[in-house]
Amino acid sequence: MIFMIRSAGGPGVRARRPGYHRPVPLRPPYPFHAALQTLQLPVGGGHVMHVQTFGAARGQPALVLHGGPGSGASPMLWRYLDPARYHIIVPDQRGAGRSQPRGRTQHNSTDHLLADLRQLRAHLGLARWLVVGGSWGAGLALAHAADEPSAIDGLLLRAVFLARDEDVHWFFQGAATVQPAAWQALASQAPAEARDSLLAWLADRLQQPQAAPREAAASAWWRWEQALAGRSDALVPTGDALAPVVDRYRVQAHYLRHGCWLQSPKLLDRLAALHGVPTLIMHSPQDRICRPEGAEALRGRLPQARLRWIDGAGHDPTHPAMVDAMVEALDHFARHGRFPVTA
């Protein structure tokens, strides 16, 4: 089932529906709230996973997976969920956010992350949880669900990234067709012989012992990503603010160079056990980082999944239409144990 929400009359209203004479106000995210618990969970290989929980200790367990890889969790990702109804669990993945050591790529792969999620669920004494993930977090949510299908109450997947060869190639090479000037600015940082393999060149620069090549590579990658997201005027982080960006892209390059370890078998080929798991996919037709073709391919593999197009949101998790749709879906799941059938 595929359906779409379109904003009509600007970002402060929702699309008019048949029989409605006035626009319906968009739902805001839930207010920021303090953590219930903060954990530093040793997970092996010298890594310590930073985990925070929010909301109602006896509420519906909900695991929130951040994107990247390497980005770390931000408050926006758990403000989609009602703290009065959900027990919200927010880990920073290995090498990301406040997990330690930040930016480390040793003993850091998708298999490690899946083992960490199994350990976290056991540590919290939870039998099952709803899983909410965006971008890479959506891909990791699918891999986790395929790894432990009996632990999954449902999947809410925003701007899904499947780690296919074509997804990675699009980001570093194919998207030059939609942002040619920004791509030339990125490619000009590399020698001519490396411009057909920008990911490998960036990954090598981000592993250099000297700060200058690492920072230059991270700044170039950051500008390119902002341009694809439609934020070409965003200011490049500098000084102390640049260090976490370098660490983020070091981890991300490490994962993307290895196809996120989701190639044998490919992620879409792992999903047979998920037939019947309530699944809702939220994606924008204008997403230039994770193209809509990925959402359509995923919908084709999961007969029970619903695909909801959020017009105009791009790859932005804070876009008002995306926030509205996410809050509505999660409120409905908290009340009924399933996602809404129609917009």
Residue 168 carries which side chain, given as an amino acid letter?
V
Kind and range of the H or E run holding 65: strand 60-65
Catalytic residue among 147, 167, 247, 287: 287
DSSP letters spanning 11-30 = TTBPPP-TT-SSPPBPPPPP
149: exposed, middle or buried (Cβ count in 10 Å: 0-12, 13-18, 19+) = middle
71: DSSP letter: T
For tokens 């060149």, the residue is: 201
Catalytic residue among 50, 254, 315, 319: 315
Q: Are 199 and 189 in contact (CB under 8 A)?
A: no
Contacts of 180 (CB under 8 A, 6+ apart): none
Q: Burial letters for 326-342: b for 16+ Cβ neighbours within 10 Å, e otherwise?
A: bbbbbbebbeeeebbee
Q: Are 102 and 68 in contact (CB under 8 A)?
A: no
Catalytic residue among 7, 135, 219, 284: 135
- Told to judge if 135 belongs to the known catalytic residues of this protein, a careful annotator would answer yes
For tokens 């499947």, the residue is: 162
Residues designated catalytic: 135, 287, 315
